[in-house]
Homo-oligomer: A and B are copies of this chain.
Amino acid sequence: MPQLKPTNSRIAPLFPISDWLKTYTREDLSNDLFAGIITAILLVPQGIAYAILAGLPPQLGLYASILPPVFYALFGTSRTLSVGPVSIAAIMIASSLTSPEVSALGHPIQSALMLSAESGIIMLIMALFRMGSLVNFISHPVLAGFTSGAALLIIGNQLPLLAGLNTPSCGINIGCYSHYFSGAITNTTLLSLAALSLLLFFGKPLTASLKILKVNRSLSTALSKCGPLLTVILATVVVSYFKLADQQVAVVGNVPSGFPDLNMSFVGDIFLGSGWVRAKLLLPDAAFIALIAYVESVAIAKVTANLRGEKIIPNQELIALGAANIVAAVSGGMPVAGGFSRTMVNFAAGARTQMAMLIAASILSLAVMFFSPWFTNIPKSALAAIILVSIIRLVKIKHIVHTWRFDRGDGIAELATLLAVLILGIEDGIVLGIILTIASHMHKTSQPHIAVVGRIPNTEHFRNIKRHQVETWRHLLLIRIDESITFANIDYIENYLGIELRRRPDTKHVVLIFNSVSDIDATALEALEQFNHGLQAQGKTLNIAEAKGPVMDKLEKTDFLQQLKPGKVFFRTEDAVNELGYMA
């Protein structure tokens, strides 16, 4: 095995920003400026919408779009990832804040900031223990099933808002959905339908029209990404002009003006009575948010990095996202992650580096300083329409069919995770998905390759007796184990040995050929000891051949080799045959 550490600290300086900053050109800047403006145009409505989706005041989404991306830019290894509020984290926050224990504590804002702080700290601890490879515990099908399920939950949450109703989501109660039609408030529903139409028009129809009109590519990109902002502006104008806020149309309401105060009070708060209770209560939810935020961010970062031959360093991402979340808590923002749609927009708009996100963050801070009074009359239904249109692409039913066809086990894991998210909820869903994936992995690795071997006549080569014409010896059973022997496969190996021994009752000497065994763990050692003990009770011997150096070193630390006597360790299988094959 090559001496290779994929996450090598020499190639991962603490500030990856220095990599690109020292070779930054004016051309890079012009690209990043354009991408930054486009992304900011998307960030304003998304920030407000995701805060509302999480059940929080709008400013928590806006604040989360300012300093966190700046800190990600300092520490992160992706040049195009757009860090800020994201829909999946928002629904997880909502699920945490509405749980009976948490909502009983009151002060949802404080809880949200605690979630930011804790998930940031968890990510930093994971980085400290170099747990970046933890991402391996979640397979793509499980992540896809989880994303589809969470997206469906989010859509379910938007429907009452679109109909102007103040009822909870119907969830998986199909019958309940008819109430959305019967109870819908007319003016809100009309506004929602108008917003949806506009947003849909800004998708393919607009791009196609612009192509026919031969508009240049940059302008075309810019225009097509303005859909959400334009929708918000038009809807707000309509609401203000017709004074709809007084006529049952729910609006965002007052958004405090100015830059957020930096506030570390929650730190001290932890050590006082109620803060500590809150911190303890929210810890499991924060751990789930941290896990999902990290896994989703790295998955998205890899897509764009891969297209440019850049490299994402998982442990460095943990540091960057951890810092971003802690900063979110300090600057009054909700938990953050890399967002899929924003990152894609940023990438498509030509972002070269994180400078684009620094520019977007500056625009956001101008927005909260000077334009926040304008946000008061934004109708929630227009934001719901924006969420609906952007989230519906995350529901990938076809993906399940593809996965199922390709690999049955993966397909089951994906479908089960989706259903579990819908039925059992977000956290149980992801836990079930992870358990399913690991269980099927353990099952696969629990069946190593083993062969009874014999000698190809007139050579010293030993081969599988099923595939080759080989010599065998009546009292001698030669068995080659082709993998490391561990708790995961020792059961299978023991069974195999038992079956072969019963099939060959004349066997007096068993030789295990260890040339492919590079490790033996404690479970396997105990089982081998028992197996040897059992053989000896029947007057048979257990022997070992061709053990590698490290395996011998390990065995010599125990008294296993003494226990084997009169069984022996042979250097070559040939030696074992010469000594044992011709004994009576």
Most buried by B among A403, A405, A521: A521
Whether B554 lies near A487 (C-beta < 8 A) is no
**Cβ of A133 < 8 Å from any Cβ of B?**
yes
**Cβ of A302 < 8 Å from any Cβ of B?**
yes
Q: Mark A123-139, 1 if CB is under 8 A from B, else 0.
A: 00000000001011111
Interfacial residues, chain A to chain B (CB-CB below 8 A): 1-2, 4, 6-7, 133, 135-141, 302-303, 306-309, 311, 314, 402-403, 405-407, 409-411, 414, 437-438, 441-447, 449-451, 466, 484, 486-489, 491-492, 495-496, 498-499, 501-502, 519, 521-523, 525-527, 530-531, 533-534, 537-538, 554, 557-558
CA distance A409 to B524 in the complex (A): 14
Whether B311 lies near A2 (C-beta < 8 A) is no
CA distance A557 to B445 in the complex (A): 24
Whether B136 lies near A487 (C-beta < 8 A) is yes
Whether A521 lies near B139 (C-beta < 8 A) is yes
| B residues in contact with A307, CB < 8 Å | 533-534, 537
Chain B residue nearest to A534 (CB atoms) is B306
Q: Which of B466, B486, B533, B538 is within 8 Å of A441, CB to CB?
A: B486
CA distance A402 to B529 in the complex (A): 14
Whether A492 lies near B442 (C-beta < 8 A) is no
| B residues in contact with A141, CB < 8 Å | 522-523
CA distance A27 to B555 in the complex (A): 42
Whether B406 lies near A557 (C-beta < 8 A) is yes
The 6 closest A-B pairs by CB, nearest first: A6-B495, A139-B487, A306-B534, A410-B522, A140-B523, A139-B523
Whether B557 lies near A521 (C-beta < 8 A) is no
| B residues in contact with A139, CB < 8 Å | 486-487, 521-523
CA distance A266 to B450 in the complex (A): 48
Whether B521 lies near A4 (C-beta < 8 A) is no
| B residues in contact with A7, CB < 8 Å | 495
CA distance A44 to B249 in the complex (A): 76
**24 contacting pairs across A/B (C-beta < 8 A):** A1-B449, A2-B450, A4-B495, A6-B492, A133-B446, A136-B488, A139-B522, A140-B522, A140-B523, A140-B527, A141-B522, A141-B523, A307-B537, A308-B537, A314-B491, A403-B522, A406-B522, A406-B557, A406-B558, A409-B521, A410-B521, A410-B523, A437-B487, A441-B445
